[in-house]
Amino acid sequence: MSNHQDILSKLDNKYKKISQNLDTHLDGLLHSKPITYWDYINTDALLSLQTQRTDQPDEMVFLMYHQINELLFKMMLWELDQLATEQNITATFFKERLSRVSRYFDMLSSSFTVMQHGMDLKQYMKFRNTLTPASGYQSAQYRKIEFASTEIINLVDNRFRHKKSKNITIKDAFNDLYWQVAGKDFETGQKNFMLSSFEERYKEELLRFGKEYSTKNLWSIFKGLPSEIQEDKGLIEAMRHYDYTVNITWVIAHFNAAKHYLTNGGEITEATGGSDWTKYMHPKYQRRIFFPELWSEQERKDWGTNV
């Protein structure tokens, strides 16, 4: 059978299975338009999503860079989902997918200078006021990446982590997750608008997602691999690299950008979301580590202190 006939017979089979007539579909092809780049990428729709709130040109840098981040977060979640749903995870598959996820976060860490140096300070100080009380803190995809990377216990506020059961559920841990502190009044415990509006919009979704990933996050998958693979030096290094790029390199790049814009002449400016950001945003304060078992006691103790 020629290649041409082979394809026709496969198509015939395909359409018969859904009670469709191949000839009708072939006839349709006679009139269909060829695909173009702009239709496939949805360029017009994509480029229509950049709506500034002010007349400050650099607001566009801020807005678009956040959108780029959300797109990359989506790419990471796409990969993490494939890892989580794969029935037979081999070491090669795990390593390959882990390095994809890591590569995306490396891009985010190394490009953060777009924020730190890519906007005019005076313009930033003007447009930021129109963004209050919104904050990148309200990125649900960022939280999902964390849930898909580690066990819930490792995302509990560092001050209470040791008091909780290692198997704590997302539901029981939710109010003590490390990021809750940025959205609460220290003395009264009252949630600010940044946190309460975030929860209203995303809490249910995050609880569902966190529960789903409690058994198939990166760490649980790693622990389920045969022990000789878990001891593979290359794999351990790749896991540590991912942990470091997300929880130190990116966090410090983010902190430095905030410091650049929010410490005007030594005076500390309040964050749009209202957190006690000078402390909260530093990795040594949050001390979040996805894979603590892969770091020595000293490394965990020094987490975020030498950057």
Positions that interact with ligand HEM (CB under 6 A): 65-66, 69, 115, 135-137, 139, 142, 179, 182, 254, 257-258, 261-262, 271-275, 277, 281
Q: Which two tokens stand for residue 79?
A: 């990969």
Closest distance to ligand HEM from the beta carbon of 23 (Å): 51
Compare residues 39 and 120 and give the one whose CB is closer to ligand HEM. 120
* Burial of residue 271 (number of CB atoms within 10 Å: 0-12, 13-18, 19+): buried
* Bridge partner residues of 177 (DSSP): 156
C-alpha span between 209 and 203 (Å, rounded): 10
Please, what is the minimum distance in Å from the beta carbon of residue 277 to ligand HEM? 4
CA distance 140 to 136: 9
Least distance (Å) from ligand HEM to the CB of residue 134? 8
Rounded CA-CA distance 304/301 in Å is 9
Question: Where do the H-state alpha helices sit in 165-294?
Answer: 170-173, 193-212, 218-224, 227-230, 233-244, 250-262, 277-280, 283-286
CB of 232 to ligand HEM, least distance (A): 31
| CB closer to ligand HEM out of 98 and 262 | 262
CB of 90 to ligand HEM, least distance (A): 32
Number of C-beta neighbours around residue 200 at 10 A: 9
Which position has the token pair 């990428």?
41
CB-wise, 94 or 137, nearer to ligand HEM? 137
C-alpha to C-alpha distance for 191 and 231, rounded to whole angstroms: 43
Q: Which is nearer to ligand HEM, 15 or 142 (CB)?
A: 142
Question: Smaller CB distance to ligand HEM: residue 222 or 277?
Answer: 277
Cβ distance to ligand HEM smaller for residue 86 or 136: 136
Nearest-approach distance from CB 119 to ligand HEM, in angstroms? 7
Question: CA-to-CA distance for 128 and 133, rounded, in angstroms?
Answer: 10
E runs forming strands in the chain: 263-264, 267-268
Distance between the two ends of the chain, CA-based, in angstroms? Answer: 66
Min dist CB 78 to ligand HEM, Å, is 17
Among the listed residues 236, 237, 251, the one whose alpha carbon sits nearest the alpha carbon of residue 288: 251
Residue 134 or 238: which CB sits closer to ligand HEM? 134
